Chain A
């Protein structure tokens, strides 16, 4: 539905560099990156608010690179919503409908339809200055959707809201997108927000699209250290390759611990490398584990810290040397074990759960 090819745009010393992206029809795509990574600039380029220096932009099969924003059939919800303060809620939602050949009655019906959909009909006569943050977001969303765009571009649509409202609105956004099947690009820097809504996610940093995949792929198989850190993999380790075969690499990590990892496909493998082990993929047991997966690394250590995160408990196991491993347990699993700081435990890590990074 929306495709960019080698998109380039520079402003001052910052540049979007050869961004190639494809979002399928009906897909909910999240563009995730830290502040200043170029997310908003990219969305503005897609909207036609910035003239790009190179590359092409296609929407619904048409090359829109040179088209004005009004001709691109996009719905745009910017940061802070940019509601028109001189128009009422109904006026805001109807704003884009005035450019369509609709009768006054049809326009009213459409406006009513979208205010109903986002639950702001009771506010129809209010001006934006008298709305809460969540209400403003809904009005801006209705305004963007009312023109029935091919692509909906949401620039940090919930970042200014409190956590509860953000979570509620994210779920509603996701449901609305499912109902309308509008192809959506949602820009954010919040990891939990991404998990709530995304079909696929693209990680962007310093104007480059670093990795695109499903949330599961990004979480379990980050491409490089930046992505790994940004998605909070928990255990990001460095090590040296000491051998291997067709199936596994042998890596010596901090404290001399030896891990086996599935060899990454293709390319040469550097001697010194970085790899990740997600906390939820580490098995923890009080005694020596009786059953482990083939090639698993078993280490023993002492519990250094236990942090209750609500539904999860994060346990830090100190395995000697510089090796501290974060292990994530479900609350029920944790409660059944009564772990305390200082307890001796064993951890086992299967080769499939040791993921080698590209850089």
Chain B
């Protein structure tokens, strides 16, 4: 399998002379600039806020509720997102069916579209016949916490599907063929060979879905509103605090989100992307 998401060094370092070193330096310059800009921005956030503001944010019942809502909705979104991403990524990678190119393009739509459009489209959809029927059947989404999950899923699943497809593209179908000659059904070959081989890629797919879902703001505000203790997620809190002129509080929540995201990403990478051999 192509090691698409390896944390290990990819290639040896051949002797390159002065030109070789200049080449490496030019590449690393871009890495340095990118990292420096982000470090500067995050440092400014941290520098601007105070320990007291962060402490207040942590102890505020409203922010705690928003934090909890953000965590559980994004968690459910990751689960549902992977539930779609793995089979869809596999199907798009392995099968050629009528409309394959169209499905491939539909998967990319949410990546290209402004997220706000997703919220607006959902609102319109649930105002029409099929949408109303779903709501009347008891599956309520508009202005409900479940709606947050729906927004997050529609916006972020595509990133997971794309990552999963790339991963399965990198797995030689012959390993499945061999498994099938060794007694596996086609599904057995998938579960016993391809899925374990795709582990790292699927973890990356999960990370992509989560990062996108955790930070989503526009479509959530349009589709479920900003009701405190009900549909207010952390990005909404930042917006509301800013709107009320409480910039320190907004920054405190932002720093909280940064810390949470950093811990989650580093943790997942350390646990999930370890080399197995």
- Whether chains A and B associate is yes
What residues of A have a CB within 8 angstroms of the CB of B178 in the complex? Answer: 76, 78, 82, 84, 143
**How far apart are B45's CB and chain A's nearest CB, in angstroms?**
41
B177 to chain A: closest residue by CB: A49
Residues of chain A within 8 A (CB-CB) of B207 are none
Q: Interface segment, B64-72, B179-187, B227-235, B246-254? A: B179-187
Inside 8 A of B172's CB, which chain A residues have their CB?
A: 80, 82
- Which chain B residues (160-216) contact chain A, with CB distance < 8 Å? 172, 174-175, 177-185, 192-193, 196-197, 199
**Chain B interface: which of A28-36, A95-103, A180-188, A202-210?**
A95-103
Which of chain B's residues has its CB closest to A129's CB?
B277
Residues of B contacting A44 in the complex (Cβ-Cβ under 8 angstroms): 177
Contact A95 B199 (CB under 8 A): no
Closest to B192 in A: A95
Q: Is B1 an interface residue (CB 8 A)?
A: yes
Decide yes or no whether A130 CB sits under 8 A from chain B: yes
Beta-carbon nearest neighbor of A78 in chain B: B174
The reply to whether B196 and A86 form a contact with Cβ atoms under 8 Å apart is yes
For window 1-32 of chain B, which residues contact chain A by CB distance below 8 Å? Answer: 1
Bound-complex Cα distance A18 to B183 (A): 29
Instruction: For the complex formed, measure the closest distance between the CB of A349 and the CB atoms of chain B, giving whole angstroms.
Output: 48
Chain B residues touching A, majority SS: helix
Q: Which residues of chain B are near A80, meaning CB under 8 Å? A: 172, 174
Are B197 and A85 in contact, CB atoms less than 8 angstroms apart?
Answer: yes
Question: Chain A nearest CB: distance from B4 CB in Å?
Answer: 14
- Hey, which chain A residues are within 8 Å of B174, CB to CB? 78-80, 82
A99 touches B197 (CB 8 A): no
Q: Which residue of chain A is the closest to B184 with respect to CB atoms?
A: A70
Interface pair B199/A86, CB less than 8 Å apart: yes
In the bound complex, residues from chain B placing their C-beta under 8 Å from that of A100 are 183
Q: Given A78-B174, A127-B277, A130-B277, are A72 and B181 also a contact pair (CB < 8 Å)?
A: yes
* Interface residues of B, count at CB 8 A: 20
Take A70-B184, A96-B182 as given contacts and tell me if A84 and B177 are in contact as well, using a CB distance cutoff of 8 Å.
no
Q: Which of B175, B177, B199, B277 touches A69 (beta carbons < 8 Å)?
A: B177
Q: Which residues of B contact A70 (CB under 8 A)?
A: 180-185
Query: Once the chains are docked, how many angstroms separate the CA of A352 from the CA of B4?
Result: 62
B105: CB under 8 A from chain A? Answer: no
How many chain A residues touch B (CB < 8 A): the figure is 32
Identify the interface centre among B172, B177, B197: most chain A CB within 10 Å of its CB: B177
Q: Are B177 and A78 in contact (CB under 8 A)?
A: yes
Partner of A95, one of B177, B182, B276: B182
> When A and B form their complex, what is the total count of cross-chain residue pairs whose Cβ atoms lie within 8 Å?
70
A7 within 8 A of B: no
Interchain nearest-CB distance for A11 vs B (Å): 13
**Contact with B180, one of A68, A126, A127, A130 (Cβ below 8 angstroms):** A68
Inter-chain CA distance A78–B176, complex, in Å, is 11
> Is A215's beta carbon under 8 Å from chain B?
no
Q: Which of B48-64 contact A (CB under 8 A)?
A: none
- Provide the bound-state CA to CA distance between A76 and B192, in Å: 18
Q: How far is the CA of A90 from the CA of B174 in the complex (A)?
A: 20
A233 / chain B contacts, CB cutoff of 8 Å: none
Of A72, A100, A129, most B-chain CB atoms within 10 Å: A129
A99 pairs with B182, CB closer than 8 A: yes
Contacts of A84 in B (CB 8 A): 175, 178-179, 193, 197
B183 touches A47 (CB 8 A): no
Residue numbers in B under 8 Å from A95 (CB-CB): 179, 182, 192
Q: Which of A86, A98, A126, A143 is the one whose CB lies under 8 Å from B276?
A: A86
- Closest B residue to A95 using CB positions: B182
Task: Tell me the smallest distance from the CB of B277 to a CB of chain A, in Å.
Answer: 3
**A47 to B277 CA separation, bound complex (whole angstroms):** 30
Min CB–CB distance B153 → chain A (angstroms): 29
Is there contact, CB below 8 Å, between A98 and B177?
no
- Say whether B183 contacts A99, CB under 8 Å: yes
Chain A residues whose C-beta falls within 8 Å of the C-beta of B177 in the assembled complex: 44, 47, 49, 69, 76, 78, 82
- Which residues of B sit under 8 angstroms from A74, Cβ to Cβ? 181
A135: shortest Cβ distance to chain B, in Å? Answer: 14
| Interface assignment of A351: CB less than 8 Å from any CB of chain B | no
Residues of A within 8 A of B185 (CB): 68, 70
Select the residue from B174, B185, B197, B276 with max chain A CB neighbours within 10 A.
B174
When C-beta atoms are compared, the residue in chain B nearest to A73 turns out to be B181
In the assembled complex, which residues on chain B have CB atoms less than 8 Å from the CB atom of A2? none
Q: Check B277 against A75 for contact (C-beta < 8 Å).
A: no
Q: Min CB distance, B74 to chain A, in Å?
A: 29
Does the CB pair A82–B175 fall under 8 Å?
yes
Interface members, chain A 276-307 (any B CB < 8 Å): none
B194 to A: closest C-beta gap in Å: 10
Q: How far is the CB of B176 from chain A (nearest CB, A)?
A: 9
List 19 other contacts, CB 8 Å, given A70-B185, A95-B179, A144-B181: A44-B177, A48-B181, A69-B180, A70-B183, A74-B181, A76-B181, A78-B178, A79-B174, A84-B178, A84-B179, A85-B197, A86-B276, A95-B192, A96-B183, A98-B183, A99-B184, A128-B277, A129-B277, A147-B183
Which A-B residue pairs are the 8 nearest by beta carbons?
Answer: A99-B183, A127-B277, A96-B182, A76-B181, A69-B180, A82-B174, A86-B196, A82-B175
| 8 A-B pairs with C-beta separation under 8 A | A69-B181, A78-B178, A82-B172, A83-B175, A84-B193, A85-B1, A130-B277, A147-B183
